[in-house]
A and B are shown apart, each in its own frame.
Chain A
Amino acid sequence: MSGVLQANGEIVHPASVELASESAHWESEARHHDLHAFYAFRRMDEIFCANYMLFDDVVRETPYDLWVGDESWEVDHFLHENPERKIAPYAFLTDVTGFLPIDPDNDPREAELCADYNAEIIEHLDRFPYVRDRSVFIGDFAELPDASLGPGLPRVREWSERIYSSVPYVVPFDPAAYRRPIALRRRLGYGTGYPLYVAAVGGTSVGRDLLELTAEAFALVRKEQPDARMLMVTGPRLHVDELPDVEGMDKRGYVPELFEHLACADVAVVQGGLSTTMELVAARRPFVYFPLANHWEQQHFVAHRLDHYRAGVRMQYAATRPPDLAAAMIAAQNTRPAYRPVRRGGAPKAANHLATLLRR
């Protein structure tokens, strides 16, 4: 992450190297495309505490004019636990607004704990409304599941509307500029006249199993479409040599401006992460996505949002064999997406919220 930011000219605080690794924790908790994100989140308590303390040091060494927390759960939690530590305007941004249980019928403990965590957050914000100077939800409230935060607690959407200001979803490009995939393919050197598939799983090694499944599926696709090609992006934590070689498949660890490649793909195969799937929605490209099993955000929040946009073919890793995925990829290639358009202007609106705090 630091490398990507620096490559884009951003200043990365030297103390960042002292952050306890969240990525390593998530990876240690994941098995076979299964990551119980809520339980893993709970077991991050010492990482959260360590990283909050680092933040607390850093903001006292330098008097920053504004703190912007992009889903900075540890900063948000400990600032509400210790509101006297707030010494600057603080804005919290998020695209997920609560914990929802994955399996309440078979795991009542999970449901109980999710409700307790939600109750704590609600109480924090009720009791110390001055800790956050702005709460920004990235997206429209209709993109939130209309689920309960727990027995006796408000519903996700109702509570979010009370707490957050909504801005349209933010993608790192102007969708209107990426409506011509053929021209984009030429510009990126792909050429045209053959099916182009792109597979990507984000920045952790959690997606290894999905990439292996995808490689096997692509080998089957090639039998029906001998000229098909695939760009497989493994991410920084998976070496390309760890994945099988398939004729027509190009494996790369990192692809700058990945969204451009997704925007000209005939079909993308991705995890259920929000950033990548929403880039595909904005670019109106067909895609097959696999939410991580037991991942509350991907199973509830992202899936609901994609349903709202009428986008994506949702599949479950555990129930998918290579021929199933190959068939889904070929079928998706023959569809014309009729997604609900992604409203524009999210980034300027979010920036305006932040700028308001600077002018105070």
Chain B
Amino acid sequence: MMGTFPVVDGRQWKGQVPYLARHFRVVTWDPRGNRRSDRPTGPDAYADEVYARAAAAVSDASGTDAAFVVALCPGINRSLLLAAAQPKRVCGLVAIAPGVHPLAPNHPLETVDQARWRGDFTGWIDYHSNVLLPEPHSSKLFEDPVGWSPQTDADVIAARTHAPLRPATEDDAIAMSQALTCPVLVLHGSEDKCRPRERGERFAQLTRGLLVVLDGVGHLPHGRPPVLVTRSSGSSSRCIRLRCHSTARGCSRASESVARCGCARPSGWAMCFVTSPSPGRYASRFPISRSSGWRSRR
């Protein structure tokens, strides 16, 4: 389970690890800049290539010669770098909301070192977590990253924000994506306000992977519909039949329950919609206050 943007630690995979660990050997690690990892200064220390070398070091230290990699956002960049350096080490990739920025422009996000957030790291964390989690009824999912954020600070986040990215150019991104020979499953939330869905679609095309678009889901599908992501990760890790029970947006109850698609192994790309956590009739009336200020209560 690849480390990601250092605003969260390895516990982001808590919905997946218990299940996967019953079937596979699972390795998680805290990305540089959070929890038990170090916090060097300066953007260069948080370059994708540094993280990729860290992933290789974790694999060495844990005796992991080859692994299915599950990655979120910038974790995909590091997975590409790891696969480019050591192709046999990555035998499959579950790519959640790919962070390969040259494939499609980022949604505009306010960075932690913008004037508005200077001296207000917790305010930025609230803002950032709200952007990642547009789904209704996700208050606990919001509280998790907010609760983990004191393990890092604004300097680390700013350093990572301005760190050298790889792939750096569109040509680089295309070449590295096409060079990936392992099975790829791309999961992308239709309501992702952090990374555009078009990027997920393009990454799936370039890697000849399977794309699953999760209707109504934001940037953290492994948290909000964890069951689907966990099962998808487990299924694709076995490289066996991957089944995605699909529903069309706004479709009838009957079609919600019966429409299905499946493919023997990732090849070409397909788009599926899964049952969305879209707001029901009450959700719009419950704009739950999301603020770290609540955290001190319990």
Residues on A facing B (Cβ under 8 Å)? 18, 20, 36, 39, 42-43, 45-46, 49-50, 52-54, 56-57, 78, 81-85, 107, 109-110, 112-113, 115-117, 119-120, 122-124, 126-128, 130, 150-153
Contact = CB atoms under 8 A, between A and B. Distances in A.
B53 interface: no
B281 A49 contact: no
A50 B7 CA distance: 24
A83 B275 contact: yes
Interface string B170-204: 00000000000000000000000000000000000
Given A53-B227, A107-B297, A46 B140 contact: no
B18 A46 contact: yes
B30 to A, nearest CB: 17
B43 interface: no
A130 B18 contact: no
A82 B230 CA distance: 12
Interface string B241-276: 000010100000100110010000000000000110
13 contacts: A18-B22, A56-B227, A84-B257, A84-B274, A112-B289, A116-B286, A117-B137, A119-B283, A120-B283, A122-B280, A123-B137, A123-B281, A152-B285
Contacts of B226: 49
B191 to A, nearest CB: 16
Interface of B: 14-15, 18-19, 22, 136-137, 139-140, 225-228, 230-231, 245, 247, 253, 256-257, 260, 274-275, 277, 280-283, 285-286, 288-289, 294, 297-298
Contacts, number: 100
Q: 5 closest pairs, A vs B, by CB?
A: A123-B280, A84-B245, A50-B18, A119-B282, A53-B19
A113 B298 CA distance: 12
A120 B19 CA distance: 25
Nearest to B258: A84
A122 B281 CA distance: 9
A54 B22 contact: yes
B282 A82 contact: no
A119 B286 contact: yes
Given A54-B22, A82-B228, A126 B277 contact: no
Specify which of A36, A50, A85, A128 lies most central, judged by the most chain B CB atoms within 10 Å of its CB: A50
A46 B280 contact: no
Contact of A39 (B247, B256, B274, B298): B298
Given A56-B231, A113-B288, A126 B281 contact: yes
Contacts of A127: 280
A109 B18 contact: no
Contacts of A151: 285
A50 B257 CA distance: 24
B155 to A, nearest CB: 30
B279 to A, nearest CB: 8
